[in-house]
Amino acid sequence: MVYKRNIGNESYDGWKTILNKMKTAARIIVACFELSDDPNINDRRNFLLAMSELDNWDQNVLSRIEQWPFYCQGCATYSNSASLQAMLLADAFYLWALTANRTIALQGNISDGNALCANAKGTFDGFSGKVVIDENGNRLPIYRLYGKSDGAENDRITFVVIETNGNNTAWKPQYANEYTTIWKNWGGRRPRSRPICDFDGSACPVPFVQQYLGVVIAVVIIGCGLICGALGLIYYVYRVKQNEKVKLDLQWQIPFMTLQKPKEKGEFTKSMRSITSSHSSTTSTRMTMENKHDSDRHKYYYLNSDSIVAKVHKTKPVLTNSDFVELRFVIQFLKLGSALENLDENFGT
């Protein structure tokens, strides 16, 4: 298994911490450093110093674990390196030595526990890294904010170092622009410190429909009413137009029930020749409907006391919409002519 990690400009203590964690899981470590003329960039030097000190540290721990004050015989037989907890134990011993020396220098003895606790306050570079002790003898934590580096799946770099001192916190950024480093994968925007809906979801914005439910219902009802009214009006206009067309059509359409057959006198023939012969022989006499006989092409009827001739069609004629329009126009034109004639007669008298 190969593991790659991108490490930034770490300090000497930082390198010691990193190497101490790596040695328990890695057999071969290959370090690559960029060349720079900047004297402040000394990663390679810090790495070599930390590695050298860790090697010496492991050898010293393994050689002295069987001596005073531990006397652990055979503990180093099956191990080639010291445990991670060994550094914490070494820092604890070192802190005790510093505290004892300070107390003896001030009071001459170490019998006062309160004095020991007060003299433990301070900062020193331990084997596990930078150690900060407060006035109560507690080690103050130092946090590191890591993030992914560009172009590598498993690499990470330190973005922020956070040091604490009681209730105070020192924020030490290791970046130049947070929006292009920390929040790069967030679209270059810092997330909200407080969610829109709050942490318990009680501050979510109320939906518009829920907030103005009465207004929405009223608008929907009014809108449906307007739509229904518009549809009703359209249907009413359509029916009026259709009724007008029907009335106009009734003016030129003649129901068959209104036609009356004339009374026939004598025998009749239905051939067209007989009708033609009858016409030619009676041109000088007055012809009446009783003298007319139906044929295959014509039939004779009375319509409201008016005599008419109906043409017989072999099939039912199909009238198009343009035919209906033309027939309606003819009826209206005849009505207009009749009205003008009546008007002329009235003015003429």
Task: Give tens-digit pLDDT for 134-192.
Answer: 888 889 998 988 887 665 555 678 889 898 887 888 999 988 888 888 888 788 888 88
**Lowest-pLDDT choice from 234-243, 264-273, 283-292:** 264-273
Average pLDDT on 256-261 reads 83
pLDDT at 133: 92
Cα separation of the two ends of the chain = 125
What's the 3-state SS for the chain?
CCCCCCCCCCCHHHHHHHHHHHCCCCCCCCCCCCCCCCCCCCHHHHHHHHHHHHHHHHHHHHHHCCCCCCCCCCCCCCCCCCCHHHHHHHHHHHHHHHHHHHHHHHHCCCCCHHHHHHHCCEEEEECCEEEEECCCCCECCEEEEEEECCCCCCCEEEEEEEEEECCEEEEEECCCCHHHCCCHHHCCCCCCCCCCCCCCCCCCCCCHHHHCHHHHHHHHHHHHHHHHHHHHHHHHHHHHHHHHHHHHHHHHCCCHHHCECCCCCCCCCCCHHHHHHHHHHCCCCCCCHHHCCCCCCEEEEEECCEEEEEECCCCCCCCCHHHHHHHHHHHHHHHHHHHHHHHHHHHHC
Please give the pLDDT value at position 49: 54
**pLDDT: which is higher, 289 or 292:** 292
**Residues facing 147 on adjacent strands:** 157
Q: Are 132 and 165 in contact (CB under 8 A)?
A: yes
Q: Write the CB contacts of 18 (distance below 8 Å, at least 6 apart in sequence).
A: 7, 10
Pick the closest to residue 6 from 185, 142, 157 (CA basis).
Answer: 157
6-10, 162-166, 225-229, 305-309: range with lowest mean pLDDT: 6-10
Amino acid at 176: A
Domain extents in the chain: 1-82
pTM for the predicted model, two decimal places: 0.39
Residue 50: pLDDT band (50, 70, 90) is: low
Q: Write the pLDDT tens digit of every residue in 93-126.
A: 999 999 999 999 998 888 888 899 899 999 998 8
Instruction: Label residue 260 by pLDDT band (50, 70, 90).
Output: confident
Give the per-residue pLDDT at 102: 92
